[in-house]
Amino acid sequence: MRTESLTKYLAGIVLLVGLLFIPAEKCLGYIIPAEQLLGFMAKNFSKFRTLLIIQSTQQEDEKSEGGEESFMEKIWMESPDRVRSQVMDHPMGRINKPDMRYRQILMANNAQRLLQLLSQMGVNTHSVAFTRIDDIIAYRIGDKEPHRPKILVEKDKFLPLLLVYRSTEQSHLETITVQFKDYKRTEEGWYPFEITYSDGKGLKENYTIHTLQANVPIDPALFVMPKRESLPDQASEPGQGPAEEERLREIIKKFEEKYQ
């Protein structure tokens, strides 16, 4: 009997010592399904129906002769997927326009829509695991490889930290990487006041938000833009004659003056 008791005692000690040496990352706990995780994340932005943002943009373009540019930019957004941007202090406006689909995850949404959006971006929503980014423990939805589409969500507050997704262009080899930093709490929820954007073609942009207004009225006509600007010797698109284009410009101009 003594031998049997001693054997059990020693086995218990060995088990305890073994548990002490298991790496911490192996004991992070239960990994929740992607849909439930995205539901928690969506709650951080559930009150953002519309947004009006003033930001400074630092742009680096490897293909551009100028190399670096900086300008102020105004952005209007309406849930779930309407967005428009306008350069405020540059007469030529934007030459290179970023893919702004990533901003949809920072607006009022539900888990099902976010699953659909991420799937369209190429994210494997069936793969969920723990990871780290900048020494922060996060959930990873998507594949582990660095350049594969994925979203990293902070473990404690369920805030998105990194999004890697496929470009809308035909080449599936190109991915866009967006990093969200400097989250600040507003009355309506959390929002990243610093965002870094880069694509696979040498364009990198850093955004710093100066003002953010949530749930301000936005005229729907602001998002109705002509399909293209016609040159004097070119025909306009059907339904977008000179009179219609001028009317839309006047509506947008009055609205911008009202909310500047």
CATH code of 125's domain: 2.50.20.10
Residue 228 lies in a domain: no
Q: What is the pLDDT of residue 243?
A: 54
Rounded to 5 degrees, φ, ψ at 88 are -95, -25
Residue 116 lies in a domain: yes
Q: 159 with 182: CB under 8 angstroms?
A: no
pTM exceeds cut of 0.85: no
Contact residues for 136 (Cβ-Cβ < 8 A; gap 6+): 154, 155, 161
Question: Between these two residues, 62 and 85, which has the higher pLDDT value?
Answer: 85
Q: Is the pLDDT of residue 152 over 70?
A: yes
- How many whole angstroms separate alpha carbon 29 and alpha carbon 201? 39
Residue 15 lies in a domain: no
* pLDDT, tens only, 114-132: 999 999 999 999 999 999 9
Residue 90 lies in a domain: yes
Residue 54 lies in a domain: yes
Q: What is the pLDDT of residue 241?
A: 46
CA 62 to chain centre: 23
* pLDDT, tens only, 186-245: 999 999 999 999 998 888 999 999 999 999 999 888 888 644 333 333 333 344 445 545
Q: 158 with 141: CB under 8 angstroms?
A: no
**Closest by alpha carbon to 152, among 165, 142, 162?**
162
Q: Is the pLDDT of residue 109 over 70?
A: yes
| Alpha helices for 21-133 (secondary structure H) | 34-43, 111-120
Residue 17 lies in a domain: no
CA distances from 49 to 54, 76, 84, 155, 223 (A): 17, 11, 15, 25, 15
- How many whole angstroms separate alpha carbon 202 and alpha carbon 233? 35
Residue 14 lies in a domain: no
Residue 10 lies in a domain: no
Range of the domain at 175: 33-215
For range 90-103, the mean pLDDT: 85
For range 57-70, the mean pLDDT: 82
Longest dimension (CA), the chain: 103
Q: How many domains does the chain have?
A: 1
